[in-house]
C-alpha cells in the first residue's frame, strides 16, 4: 500500500493517489503515515526535477496533488505532522521586486528536499534578512530577483548582512531573471544559481560540508 | 556625425534592418538597444514621471535617441502601454506601477492571479467577448465592477423586445462606471496624441521604430492574463482539452491584433514577447503540444500578411532550437535572452535573423571594455554572414550609459562588413 501511494504521487497519477489516500484512511490507517508517504513521494519528484526528467509544470502539478491529499488527511490528523529537517535556509525576493514564481519554486524544492525553509516573501528589505539570520541562526541565505533592479538590491542586502557582522556566518546564493556571474561579482554573493536545482545542490553541499 | 539628412538616415537604417531580416549581408551589423526605463534613468526623470508626465517622457526618449543614434528606436509607447492617470482612474488591478505599489524609481510589475477560474473555460469558449466584458474586465478594472451585472449583450439581438434592457445602464454605480470610462478614454486620447507626435518626431529625426504592434503567443495570453502560471500549468494536466480549445480560440484574436496595429502604422515589425514556454517551464512534449503549434501559426500568419514577427524569447530556449526552426526563412527576427546565442546561430542561422546577445548583467555591472570584448565575439561569430542585430538580451532599465555607448559605437565601428 505504502509503495503504491508513493509511486502514484511521484508519477503524478492524481486520481490514483487520491483514491489510495481515501482507501487507506477508510481502512483506519494512521494519517501520519499517509503524510510520510507523500513526503517520500515529493522527494522523488524533487530528484526527477533535478535530473531534468520533470519540469516546473510537473512540480506545480505534484504540489497540487500534495495539497489535495493534505486536505483529505488533515481533518483526521491529531497533533502537528513533524519531520526531521536537515538544516535551515532563508529565502526571499529582494526589496523592490514583487516577483515570486521563481522564488516559490526554490522554496518548494528546498522544502521537499528536507530543509527548514524560512520564506520571507517578496519585496523584502535588507534588514529583514539580517533579523532572520540573527533569529534563526540559518547558515544559508538565498536572494531572488527577476528584474535588473534586483542587482542593486542584492548588493544592498549583502552589504547589510556584512555590516551586521554576519557575513562570515552565512553563505549567500542568488538567482532569478538575468542574474549570472557578473551579478554575483557585483553583489558580493558567494554563488549564483541558474535554476532551482542549483539552489538545492548548493544547500546540500554547504550544509553537508560542515 | 555624418552629413546625411534624417530621411537618408531613416532609409539607410531601415534597409540595414531589412537586409539582416532577409539574411543578406548589410553594410554593417545593425545595433538596436531595447530601451525601457533606461530612457527615464538616462534622461534624469523618475519612472513615475515616465508614466505621468507625457512631455518629460517625450523629452528623455528623444534625448536618448539623439545621444546614442541606434538603428531602431525602441517604441516609447511599448514601455508605457497605458499612462498612470488612466490606470488610477479605472483602478487597474493587473499591474503595480511606479509610485503605485512599487517604488517611483522602479519598473511596473505584474500581479498574476487566476483572473479566470478553472471552471470558467466554458463561458470563455462559448463567448469570449461576453466573458471579457462581464467577467474579466470587472476583475482587473475596479471601476468596472458593476459590469458584472450587465445582461449578456448577445440577447440584445431581439431588437425591439430587448431595448428595455438598457435600463441596466441607469443604475447609479453603472453611471459612475461609464462616466469614469469617458474620462479615462479622454486621458488615453490625450496620451496617445502625445505619443503619436513623439513617434512622428522620432521618424522625422531619422529613427525607424522597433515596432508598432504587439501580439502574444496564444498560450501566454491564457497564462499571463487569464489563468496565471500555476493555473495554466495545472490545466495542462487537469483540463488539457479545454486549454487547447482556449488557445485555438485566442490565435485568430492575436493574429488580428498584431496585423491591425502593424498595418495601421505601416511598420512591418510585430513584437511578440514570450513568457511561459522556456526550458524548464515545461517538457519538450508539452511545448510541442501546447505552446509551439499556435505560436508558429501566429508567426506564419503574420508573415503571410507581409509582416515581420520579432519574437523575444525571454529566458532560455536552447533545448528548443530545433523545434522553433520550423518557419519560413528570412522573414522574422528571433531575439534571445539566455538562450545560447552561438548555438542558435548554428542551428537557426540560415532561417531567421538573430537579435540580442548582450546580457543586461554585463551592461549593468561591467566596464565599456568588457562590453566591447563581448560585442566583438558576437560580431565575429553570430554576425558572420549577416542575419544579426546587436542588442541586449532583454529590456534595458538599469544599464550604465557608458556601456550602452560602448555597445553601439563599437558595433558601428567593428561591425562593418567588408
The per-residue pLDDT for A112 is: 87
Contacts of A120 (CB under 8 A, 6+ apart): A90, A91, A92, A128, A129, A132
Inter-chain touch A151–B112, beta carbons under 8 Å: no
The per-residue pLDDT for A196 is: 86
A14 touches chain B (CB under 8 A): yes
3-state secondary structure of A175: strand
Confidence of residue A82 (pLDDT cuts 50, 70, 90): confident
Measure the CA–CA gap between B415 and B394, rounded to whole angstroms. 21
Percentage of chain A with pLDDT > 70? 98
Q: Are residues A149 and A94 in the same domain?
A: yes
Measure the CA–CA gap between B336 and B86, rounded to whole angstroms. 33
What distance in Å separates residue A164's CA from the closest CA in chain B?
Answer: 25
Domain ranges in chain B are 1-34+210-418, 81-205
Q: Which chain B residues touch A13 with a CB distance below 8 Å?
A: none
Q: Which three cell numbers stand for residue A27?
A: 481502512
B397 touches chain A (CB under 8 A): yes
Give the nearest partner residue to A148 out of B237, B282, B397, using CB atoms. B397
For residue A196, tell me if it sits in a domain: yes
Q: Are residues A104 and A187 in the same domain?
A: yes
Give the domain-ending residue among A76, A103, A138: A76
In angstroms, the Cα distances linking B141 to B132, B151, B152 are 11, 18, 19
B1-34+210-418: CATH architecture: Alpha-Beta Barrel (3.20)
Q: Please calculate the CA angle B179-B185-B187 and round it to the nearest 5 degrees.
A: 110
CB of B187 within 8 A of CB of B86? yes
B96 touches chain A (CB under 8 A): yes
3-class secondary structure for B121-141? Answer: HHHHHHCHHHHHHHHHHHHHE
Q: Are residues A188 and A141 in the same domain?
A: yes
Give the nearest partner residue to B361 out of A12, A149, A180, using CB atoms. A180
Inter-chain touch A148–B102, beta carbons under 8 Å: no
Measured torsion, CA atoms of residues B88, B93, B97, B100, in degrees rounded to the nearest 10:
60
Give the domain-ending residue among A48, A76, A104: A76
The per-residue pLDDT for B153 is: 87
Q: Which chain A residues touch B96 with a CB distance below 8 Å?
A: 98
Check pLDDT > 80 for residue A210. no
Rg of chain B in Å (alpha carbons): 22
pLDDT in tens, A167-202: 999 999 999 988 999 999 999 999 999 888 889 999
Inter-chain touch B364–A98, beta carbons under 8 Å: no
For residue A83, tell me if it sits in a domain: no
pLDDT in tens, A5-61: 999 999 999 999 999 999 999 999 999 899 999 999 999 999 999 899 999 999 999
Inter-chain touch B237–A149, beta carbons under 8 Å: no
Give the nearest partner residue to B281 out of A55, A152, A182, using CB atoms. A55
Measure the CA–CA gap between A138 and A154, rounded to whole angstroms. 18
What distance in Å separates residue A95's CA from the closest CA in chain B?
Answer: 10
Measure the CA–CA gap between B3 and B200, rounded to whole angstroms. 21
Q: Which chain A residues touch B101 with a CB distance below 8 Å?
A: 98
For residue A82, tell me if it sits in a domain: no
Residue A36 sits in a domain whose CATH number is: 1.10.1240.10
Let me know how long chain B is: 418
Q: Please calculate the CA angle A169-A170-A173 and round it to the nearest 5 degrees.
A: 165
Give the nearest partner residue to A57 out of B96, B233, B338, using CB atoms. B233
Q: Are residues A72 and A111 in the same domain?
A: no
The per-residue pLDDT for B1 is: 52
Q: Are residues A129 and A164 in the same domain?
A: yes
The per-residue pLDDT for A195 is: 87
B230 touches chain A (CB under 8 A): yes
CB of B32 within 8 A of CB of B74? yes
Inter-chain touch A148–B398, beta carbons under 8 Å: yes
B325 burial via Cβ count (<10 Å: 0-12, 13-18, 19+): middle
CB of A145 within 8 A of CB of A169? no
What distance in Å separates residue B109's CA from the closest CA in chain A?
Answer: 7
What distance in Å separates residue B287's CA from the closest CA in chain A?
Answer: 11
Query: In which domain, by residue range, is A24 found?
Result: 2-76
Q: Give the mutation candidate from A178, A189, A192 for the B interface (greatest B CB count, under 10 A).
A: A178
Q: Are residues A198 and A99 in the same domain?
A: yes
Q: Which three cell numbers stand for residue B342?
A: 552561438
Check pLDDT > 90 for residue A208. no
B364 touches chain A (CB under 8 A): yes
Give the nearest partner residue to A57 out of B286, B364, B397, using CB atoms. B286
Check pLDDT > 80 for residue A119. yes
What distance in Å separates residue B265's CA from the closest CA in chain A?
Answer: 30
- First-last CA distance in chain A: 38
CB of A103 within 8 A of CB of A122? yes
Q: Which residue of A has its CA nearest to B41?
A: A149
Residue A126 sits in a domain whose CATH number is: 3.40.50.280
Q: Are residues A201 and A97 in the same domain?
A: yes
Q: Which residue of B has its CA nearest to A147?
A: B107
Number of domains in chain A: 2
Measure the CA–CA gap between B147 and B178, rounded to whole angstroms. 10
A119 touches chain B (CB under 8 A): no
Check pLDDT > 60 for residue A209. no
The per-residue pLDDT for B2 is: 57
Q: Are residues A138 and A64 in the same domain?
A: no
Q: Which chain A residues touch B396 with a CB distance below 8 Å?
A: 148
Give residue B151's Cα distance to chain centre.
34
- How many separate helices (H) and strands (E) can be counted in chain B? 19, 8
Provide the mean pLDDT of chain A. 93
B95 touches chain A (CB under 8 A): no
DSSP string of A9-73, one letter each residue: HHTT-HHHHHHHHHHHHHTT--HHHHHHHHHHHHHHHHHHHHTTSS-HHHHHHHHHHHHHHHHHH
**Which residues of chain B are under the pLDDT cut of 50?**
none
Containing H/E element for A141? strand A140-144
Give the domain-ending residue among A45, A76, A107: A76
DSSP B152: P
Amino acid at each position: 500500500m505504502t509503495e503504491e501511494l508513493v509511486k502514484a504521487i511521484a508519477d503524478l497519477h492524481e486520481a490514483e493517489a487520491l483514491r489510495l489516500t481515501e482507501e487507506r484512511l477508510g481502512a483506519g490507517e494512521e494519517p501520519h503515515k499517509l503524510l510520510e508517504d507523500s513526503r517520500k513521494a515529493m522527494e522523488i519528484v524533487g530528484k526527477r526535477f533535478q535530473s531534468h526528467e520533470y519540469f516546473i509544470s510537473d512540480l506545480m502539478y505534484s504540489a497540487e496533488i500534495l495539497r489535495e491529499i493534505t486536505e483529505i488527511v488533515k481533518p483526521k490528523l491529531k497533533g502537528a505532522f513533524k519531520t526531521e529537517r536537515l538544516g535551515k535556509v532563508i529565502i526571499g525576493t529582494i526589496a523592490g521586486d514583487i516577483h515570486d514564481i521563481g522564488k516559490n519554486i526554490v522554496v518548494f524544492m528546498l522544502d521537499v528536499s528536507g530543509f527548514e525553509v524560512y520564506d520571507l516573501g517578496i519585496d523584502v528589505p535588507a534588514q529583514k534578512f539580517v533579523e532572520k539570520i540573527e533569529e534563526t541562526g540559518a547558515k544559508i541565505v538565498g536572494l531572488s530577483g527577476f528584474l535588473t533592479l534586483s542587482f542593486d538590491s542584492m548588493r544592498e542586502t549583502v552589504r547589510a548582512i556584512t555590516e551586521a557582522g554576519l557575513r562570515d556566518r552565512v553563505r549567500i546564493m542568488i538567482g532569478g531573471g538575468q542574474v549570472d556571474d557578473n551579478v554575483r561579482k557585483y553583489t558580493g554573493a558567494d554563488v549564483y544559481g541558474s535554476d532551482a536545482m542549483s539552489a538545492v545542490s548548493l544547500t546540500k553541499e554547504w550544509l553537508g560540508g560542515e | 556625425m555624418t552629413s546625411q539628412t534624417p530621411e537618408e538616415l531613416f532609409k539607410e537604417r531601415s534597409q540595414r534592418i531589412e537586409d539582416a531580416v532577409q539574411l543578406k549581408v548589410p553594410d554593417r551589423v545593425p545595433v538596436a538597444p531595447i530601451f525601457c526605463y533606461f530612457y527615464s534613468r538616462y534622461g534624469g526623470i523618475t519612472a513615475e514621471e515616465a508614466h505621468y508626465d507625457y512631455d518629460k517622457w517625450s523629452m528623455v526618449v528623444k534625448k536618448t535617441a539623439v545621444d546614442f543614434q541606434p538603428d531602431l528606436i525602441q517604441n516609447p509607447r511599448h514601455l508605457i502601454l497605458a499612462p498612470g492617470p488612466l490606470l488610477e482612474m479605472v483602478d487597474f488591478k493587473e499591474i503595480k506601477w511606479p509610485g503605485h505599489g512599487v517604488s517611483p524609481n522602479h519598473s511596473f510589475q505584474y500581479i498574476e492571479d487566476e483572473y479566470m477560474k478553472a471552471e470558467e473555460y466554458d463561458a470563455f469558449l462559448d463567448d469570449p467577448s461576453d466573458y471579457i466584458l462581464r467577467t474579466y474586465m470587472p476583475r482587473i478594472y475596479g471601476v468596472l465592477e458593476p459590469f458584472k451585472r450587465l445582461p449578456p449583450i448577445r440577447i440584445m439581438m431581439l431588437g425591439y423586445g430587448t431595448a428595455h434592457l438598457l435600463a441596466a445602464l441607469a443604475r447609479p454605480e453603472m453611471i459612475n462606471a461609464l462616466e469614469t470610462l469617458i474620462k479615462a478614454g479622454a486621458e488615453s486620447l490625450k496620451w496617445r496624441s502625445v505619443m503619436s507626435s513623439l513617434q512622428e518626431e522620432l521618424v522625422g529625426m531619422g529613427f525607424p521604430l522597433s515596432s508598432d504592434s504587439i501580439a502574444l503567443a496564444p498560450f501566454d495570453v491564457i497564462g499571463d492574463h487569464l489563468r496565471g502560471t500555476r493555473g495554466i500549468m495545472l490545466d495542462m494536466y487537469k483540463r488539457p482539452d479545454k486549454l487547447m480549445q482556449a488557445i485555438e480560440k485566442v490565435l485568430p484574436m492575436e493574429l488580428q491584433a498584431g496585423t491591425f496595429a502593424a498595418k495601421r502604422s505601416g511598420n512591418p515589425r510585430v513584437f511578440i514577447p514570450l513568457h511561459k514556454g522556456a526550458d524548464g517551464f515545461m517538457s519538450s512534449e508539452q511545448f510541442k503540444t501546447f505552446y509551439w503549434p499556435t505560436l508558429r501559426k501566429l508567426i506564419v500568419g503574420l508573415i503571410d500578411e507581409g509582416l515581420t514577427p520579432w519574437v523575444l524569447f525571454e529566458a532560455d530556449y536552447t533545448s528548443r532550437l530545433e523545434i522553433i526552426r520550423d518557419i519560413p526563412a528570412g522573414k522574422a527576427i528571433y531575439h534571445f535572452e539566455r538562450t545560447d546565442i552561438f548555438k542558435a546561430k548554428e542551428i537557426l542561422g540560415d532561417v531567421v535573423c538573430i537579435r540580442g546577445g548582450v546580457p543586461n548583467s554585463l551592461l549593468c555591472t561591467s566596464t565599456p571594455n568588457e562590453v566591447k570584448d563581448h560585442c566583438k565575439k558576437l560580431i565575429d561569430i553570430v554576425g558572420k554572414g549577416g542575419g544579426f542585430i546587436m542588442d541586449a538580451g532583454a529590456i534595458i532599465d538599469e544599464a550604465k550609459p557608458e556601456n550602452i555607448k560602448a555597445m553601439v559605437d563599437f558595433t558601428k565601428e567593428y561591425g562593418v562588413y567588408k
